[in-house]
Amino acid sequence: MFEIEINIKNINKIMRAIPGMDTLLFKDWIKDYWIKAIGREPVKEILNQELAALRHDILNNDLDLDNINIEEELKSRCIKKFERAARKNLRRVINATGVVIHTNLGRSLIAQEAIDAMAQAADSYSNLEYDIDSGTRGQRNSLIENLLCSMTGAEAALVVNNNAGAVLLCLSALAKNSDVIVSRGELVEIGGSFRVPDIMAMGGAVLKEVGTTNRTHLFDYENAINENTKIILKVHPSNFRIEGFVTMPERSELAELAHKNNLIFMEDAGSGLLVPGETLNLVGETSVKECLNQGVDLITFSGDKMLGGPQIGVIAGKKDVIAKLRKFPMLRALRVDKSTFAAFEATLRIYMRGELDKIPTLEMIRRDKNLLREQADNLAAKISERINNKARVAVVETNDAVGGGSYPERPLIGWGVAVSCDASVADVKLSAGSLLNLMRENTTPIICGAHENALIIHVRTLLDNDINVIANRLEEIFIGNE
């Protein structure tokens, strides 16, 4: 009884000692530091939560009330929350997956020249929609049209926000309430959110599926044509590959059929190669230029996949068809930002000069195997030096990938470092799963692969300083503060 009374008095005293919000907001560590770092309202919100939690813990007797310093206790509780609130939501991560165009990690990196152009477009006025010669209003699309036409051989071109938008615009402007014929082998879903039948429906077009999953013949297309047909659509089967008993008509055959019937032959090329596939050592991929040469009237593709530029959707092809798109009001809703234009133009200019290795995506896809091996050797040596035999470190061949739904089921052979830790090398056994988590928890998260209970660090997608960050993190994990 007596003891409980003392405790209640103690609790009351401590509760009274908790500073109020107004007092707290004038404490140096809050006023001069955290309010400046994250703003007053977020600070107040966190303080309120933590004050409530602290009161709750005191009343529940969860704390050592005899030795508590209330302000210090509150401070230690708040700092973690403040730090979290100060951390940017969109953060840099290290891509150690070997997947070059990793959609979840932001697809293509942008070439340095394109980054400079983006910054310039952002921090000064520009002729985005201004014709400097005449001093009158200009067209933003005309800024890149000539470059796109010279790279692809197209008569005309325009750009929108992304390739999904490009397909949607084409279908809405050219085939509303009309039939669009697509092979059942090409009814693709990309990353869950782009499905050919859904985009078709959204564009108000009527999907006419023909053929079967593995075989579609020219006569299948021919039989589906009626007076309501407007487009024959070919879709790049971006993220899968059907092997075996497969038939698809040639582009030239589809073009001939379309033109005989006054239809538009359109292709959603997905990634969109501006150079011949062989330049990137990719087998069986057709460049945009070749597609147009084979009779495609209208082609769409992404800017941030294999092209290696910013997020954009390109539409290129016949002048009269593009002219219709230009007049279609939806274009305004899909228009491209000035920084993106700047980055895209700069990227196309690098292509024009033929300096492909200045485009990070192309350089990573093309990188020489011996160079990759050398990088893996370096990384392995650096890691071994730091972790003192606390884990097994080996240089291994890896299956890297182009990614981004480009070039599926054909790995790029690369090199990497395998790190594994079992009872035979260490007291604490760490599964590949735990290692993956620990790498991700780094200040700059490191996203790795795993294979047969080893962590795999693919070197193809690492940037200059990444190997130091990786070695530091592994040292932290295996040596820690011991």
Ligand X SMILES: *Cc1c(COP(=O)(O)O)cnc(C)c1O
> In terms of CB distance, is 190 or 446 closer to ligand X?
190
| Options 108, 141, 302, 347; binder of ligand X; rule CB under 6 A | 302
Tell me which stretch binds ligand X (CB under 6 A): 160-168, 211-219, 224-232, 279-287.
160-168
CB of 313 to ligand X, least distance (A): 6
| Options 34, 194, 351, 478; binder of ligand X; rule CB under 6 A | 194
The rounded distance, in Å, linking the Cα atoms of 321 and 205 is 17
Query: 469: alpha, beta or left, given left = phi > 0 and alpha = psi -120 to 50?
Result: alpha
Tokens describing residue 313: 């959707």
| Options 58, 94, 144, 190; binder of ligand X; rule CB under 6 A | 190
| Options 162, 172, 375, 442; binder of ligand X; rule CB under 6 A | 162
Site membership for ligand X, residue 220 (CB under 6 A): no
Tell me which stretch binds ligand X (CB under 6 A): 157-165, 328-336, 426-434, 467-475.
157-165
CB of 236 to ligand X, least distance (A): 4
The rounded distance, in Å, linking the Cα atoms of 112 and 465 is 16
Site membership for ligand X, residue 233 (CB under 6 A): no
Site membership for ligand X, residue 270 (CB under 6 A): yes
The rounded distance, in Å, linking the Cα atoms of 435 and 453 is 10
CB of 473 to ligand X, least distance (A): 32
The side-by-side arrangement of strands in the sheet containing 206-210 is 156-160, 313-317, 298-302, 264-268, 229-235, 179-183, 206-210
Site membership for ligand X, residue 407 (CB under 6 A): no
Site membership for ligand X, residue 405 (CB under 6 A): yes
Site membership for ligand X, residue 238 (CB under 6 A): yes
Site membership for ligand X, residue 156 (CB under 6 A): no
* Total chain residues near ligand X (CB under 6 A): 15
| Options 24, 171, 188, 364; binder of ligand X; rule CB under 6 A | 188
Tell me which stretch binds ligand X (CB under 6 A): 15-23, 43-51, 267-275, 433-441.
267-275
Tokens describing residue 447: 């996203």
Instruction: Please give, one letter per residue, the 3-state secondary structure of 82-121.
Output: HHHHHCCCCCCCEEECCEEECHHHCCCCCCHHHHHHHHHH
> In terms of CB distance, is 216 or 238 closer to ligand X?
238
CB of 106 to ligand X, least distance (A): 12
The rounded distance, in Å, linking the Cα atoms of 424 and 426 is 6
The rounded distance, in Å, linking the Cα atoms of 404 and 123 is 31
Site membership for ligand X, residue 95 (CB under 6 A): no
Query: 310: alpha, beta or left, given left = phi > 0 and alpha = psi -120 to 50?
Result: beta
Q: Which residue is nearest to ligand X (CB)?
A: 270
> In terms of CB distance, is 26 or 240 closer to ligand X?
240
Phi, psi (rounded to 5 degrees) for 381: -65, -45
Site membership for ligand X, residue 102 (CB under 6 A): no
For residue 268, the cross-strand partners are: 235, 300
Site membership for ligand X, residue 347 (CB under 6 A): no
The rounded distance, in Å, linking the Cα atoms of 431 and 437 is 10
CB of 268 to ligand X, least distance (A): 5
Residue whose structure tokens are 């309010």 = 35
Cα angle 213, 218, 221 (rounded to 5 degrees) comes to: 75
Give the interface with ligand X as residue ranges (CB under 6 A): 162-164, 188, 190, 194, 235-236, 238, 268, 270-271, 302, 313, 405
